[in-house]
Amino acid sequence: MTTVEQASANRGARAEKLAIEGGPKAVSASPQERWKTIRLRDLVPIAKHVRWGLITDPSGQGPVRNFEESFAALVGTRHALAMNSGTAALHSALFAVGVGPGDEVILPSYTWHATASAVLCCGANPVFCEIDPRTLTADPADIARRITGRTKAILIVHVWGNPCRMDAIKQIADEHGLALIEDCSHAHGAVYQGRAIGSWGDIGCFSLQGGKAVSAGEGGVAVCSKPEYIDRMVALGQPVRSSTMIGSEKFDLAGVNLGPKYRAHLFGLLWAGRSLARLEELNRRRRRNWNILCDSLAGCEEVYAPETLLGAIRGGFLEFKLVVDLPAAQFDMDEMVKALKAEGAPFTSDRYGQLHRRSQFQKGGPLTLDLLRSTRDSSRPEISLPETESLQGRILTLPAYIDVEESALRQCAYALRKVVGHFATRRTNKTTS
């Protein structure tokens, strides 16, 4: 879009009456996802295993091994270990790098709660850091500010498939001798500076749950290149797999692991292998649709698309996110979503809260996860994260479209331009009256 076209789109959108107030709907095309995630032919390998009477493989051979090798090849690491959830992968990874009771792990507050819960599972303390509001990913300068003598690891999240500033974060981790774990649960197939996401840190963790770009229904996988990390993750949560240990430590567990059982389901991995095989094509389609959406919003001053860093390629996505660039205090997100729905645009509000404010991660709540910790840290100060907090109630969501009519995407963008334009004008009128 040229600047002239952008200005005229803004003017046109603002001049139209909102659909919620009886005006014309902005979206006439169908914004339905047309891609069929579940194909019957993907069930064939599972059916075959059922016929052979093979419903689990605790040894980690056969399809489990095939999946792990394919996943490691995707990320470019030497090893991968499949698990039954992304949370299991995160817990195993933190355990493998030596995070234990009383340690601190720095992670962003803007993420799914499992990123932080995994830290508590190790008896350690999550220390929440800021995100950069332009990218929604962890801010390296703020990570550095939060390092103390007790910090053991940095745990970053490539949220919504957007790669973090990994060169800067890795440098900080290396300079301070800290472990670096990547939560890549949204970012299958993402790349930063020519290197796959998941291969920058000591261990990369991916959820394979539900709607993830590689989906086992429920599942997870951790990738790394150090054999010792694989062995420790096996020791923690993979009973009867000690024969697959590859490092020099060779824990002698005689089939007895350390407690949790994180074995992946054979059928889930057979299923996940199908989306893994199509990942490149599906990511190409998601990126194309993301670019169409961003391009259609160019010049709209009240909305921005989180920036992709130079040298970064998004992957996975999980959801498309847009930030309303109006102070949250001056509009109501529920009202905005209602107005957008009336236009025919299926926007929803963001489902991520702010973990640093959740009672589960604070001292003394009725069900505080402090209960899981062997050392209780009563000295943890209440923290405020102004940048993260400023985004609360300002983020909008669309599905991470694979196959949708291009006109529907453009019309959704137009609907947003129209609705935010009206909200901004009302705000201006209110403040000047």
Ligand X SMILES: Cc1ncc(COP(=O)(O)O)c(C=O)c1O
Region for residue 210 given its phi and psi (left: phi exceeds 0; alpha: psi -120 to 50; beta: otherwise): left
Query: In angstroms, what is the minimal distance from the CB of 212 to ligand X?
Result: 7
Of 262 and 290, which has the nearer Cβ to ligand X?
Answer: 262
> Are the C-beta atoms of 357 and 432 separated by less than 8 Å?
no
Binds ligand X (CB under 6 A): choice among 57, 67, 82, 87: 87
Spell out the residues 6+ positions from residue 194 whose beta carbon is closer than 8 angstroms to its own.
311
Alpha helices, DSSP H, located in 76-224: 86-96, 113-121, 140-145, 166-176
- In 187-231, the DSSP E strands lie at 191-192, 195-196, 203-207, 220-224
Cα 423 to Cα 73: distance, rounded to the nearest angstrom: 48
Mask 158-197, x = binds ligand X (CB under 6 A)?
-------------------------x-xx-----------
Query: In angstroms, what is the minimal distance from the CB of 224 to ligand X?
Result: 17
Structure tokens at 188: 């299958």
Binders of ligand X in range 243-272 (CB under 6 A): none
- In 27-162, the DSSP E strands lie at 79-83, 104-108, 125-129, 151-157
Mask 126-165, x = binds ligand X (CB under 6 A)?
-------------------------------x--------
Binds ligand X (CB under 6 A): choice among 163, 198, 201, 220: 220
Query: In angstroms, what is the minimal distance from the CB of 27 to ligand X?
Result: 28
Sign of CA dihedral 404, 407, 412, 416: positive
Place of tokens 């500076």: 193
CA 113 to chain centroid, in Å, comes to: 11
Cα 119 to Cα 373: distance, rounded to the nearest angstrom: 10
Of 209 and 308, which has the nearer Cβ to ligand X?
Answer: 209
Q: Which of 349, 189, 343, 215 is nearest to 279 (CA)?
A: 189
Query: In angstroms, what is the minimal distance from the CB of 109 to ligand X?
Result: 12
Query: In angstroms, what is the minimal distance from the CB of 330 to ligand X?
Result: 30
Binds ligand X (CB under 6 A): choice among 10, 77, 109, 115: 115
> Are the C-beta atoms of 198 and 176 separated by less than 8 Å?
no
Of 89 and 270, which has the nearer Cβ to ligand X?
Answer: 89
Rounded to whole angstroms, what are the CA distances from 43 to 38, 198, 265, 360? Answer: 9, 28, 14, 39
Structure tokens at 45: 């390998």
Binds ligand X (CB under 6 A): choice among 10, 85, 257, 283: 85
Binds ligand X (CB under 6 A): choice among 10, 77, 92, 111: 111
Cα 162 to Cα 78: distance, rounded to the nearest angstrom: 24
Q: Does 114 bind ligand X (CB under 6 A)?
A: yes
Query: In angstroms, what is the minimal distance from the CB of 184 to ligand X?
Result: 8
Pick the piece of the chain touching ligand X (CB under 6 A) from 83-91, 278-286, 321-329, 398-406: 83-91
Cα 300 to Cα 10: distance, rounded to the nearest angstrom: 7
Query: In angstroms, what is the minimal distance from the CB of 107 to ligand X?
Result: 10
Query: In angstroms, what is the minimal distance from the CB of 413 to ligand X?
Result: 25
Query: In angstroms, what is the minimal distance from the CB of 207 to ligand X?
Result: 3
Q: Give the CB-nearest residue to ligand X.
A: 86
Binds ligand X (CB under 6 A): choice among 207, 238, 283, 296: 207
> Are the C-beta atoms of 155 and 106 separated by less than 8 Å?
yes
Residue type at 201 in one-letter notation? G
Of 112 and 317, which has the nearer Cβ to ligand X?
Answer: 112
Query: In angstroms, what is the minimal distance from the CB of 7 to ligand X?
Result: 38
Pick the piece of the chain touching ligand X (CB under 6 A) from 82-90, 100-108, 250-258, 292-300: 82-90
Pick the piece of the chain touching ligand X (CB under 6 A) from 93-101, 112-120, 375-383, 409-417: 112-120
Of 262 and 401, which has the nearer Cβ to ligand X?
Answer: 262
CA-derived radius of gyration, the chain? 23
Return residues touching ligand X (CB under 6 A). 85-87, 111-112, 114-115, 157, 183, 185-186, 207, 209, 220
